[in-house]
Amino acid sequence: MTEPTPTPLQPLPEDWQRALAVVAHPDDMEYGAAAAVKRWTAQGKEVVYAMVTSGEAGIDGLDPAECGPLREAEQIASAALVGVDTVEFLRHPDGVLEYGLPLRRDIARLVRRYRPEIVITANYRETYGGTFPNQADHIAAGRATLDAVRDAGNRWVFRELLDEGHQPWDGVRQLWAAGSPLAAHGVDTTEHFEAGVASLEAHAAYLAGLGGAMADARSFLESFGRGAGTRLGTRFAASFEVVNLKF
> For residues 81 and 202, is the Cβ–Cβ distance under 8 A?
yes
Tell me whether residue 174 is in a domain. Answer: yes
In a domain, 7, yes or no: no
Residue 185 within a domain: yes
Task: List average pLDDT for each run of 10 residues in the chain, which is 247 residues long.
Answer: 75 98 98 97 98 97 97 98 98 98 98 98 93 95 98 98 98 98 97 98 95 92 96 98 91
- Partners of 243 in the β-ladder: 175
CB count, 10 Å around CB of 175? 22
Q: Is 53 part of any domain?
A: yes
Domain of residue 27: give its range.
13-244
In this structure, is residue 4 part of a structural domain?
no
The answer to whether residue 5 is domain-embedded is no
Into how many domains does the chain fold? 1
Contact 105, 150 (CB under 8 A): no
Nearest-angstrom CA–CA distance, 110 and 192? 27
Q: What is the dihedral of CA 124, 135, 105, 48, to 10 degrees?
A: -70
Q: What pLDDT score does 27 carry?
A: 96
**Helix 193-201 with 34-42: angle, nearest 10 deg:** 120
- Is residue 1 a part of any domain in this protein? no
Residue 15: CB atoms within 10 A of its CB come to 6
Tell me the C-alpha to C-alpha distance, in Å, between residue 149 and each of 53, 116, 198, 206: 19, 10, 30, 30
Which of 49, 74, 78 lies closest to 62 in space, CA to CA? 74
List the CATH number of the domain containing 44. Answer: 3.40.50.10320
- 238: helix, strand or coil: strand
- Whether 30 and 78 have beta carbons less than 8 Å apart is answered as yes
The Cα angle at residue 86 between residues 84 and 87, in degrees rounded to 5 = 100
In a domain, 199, yes or no: yes
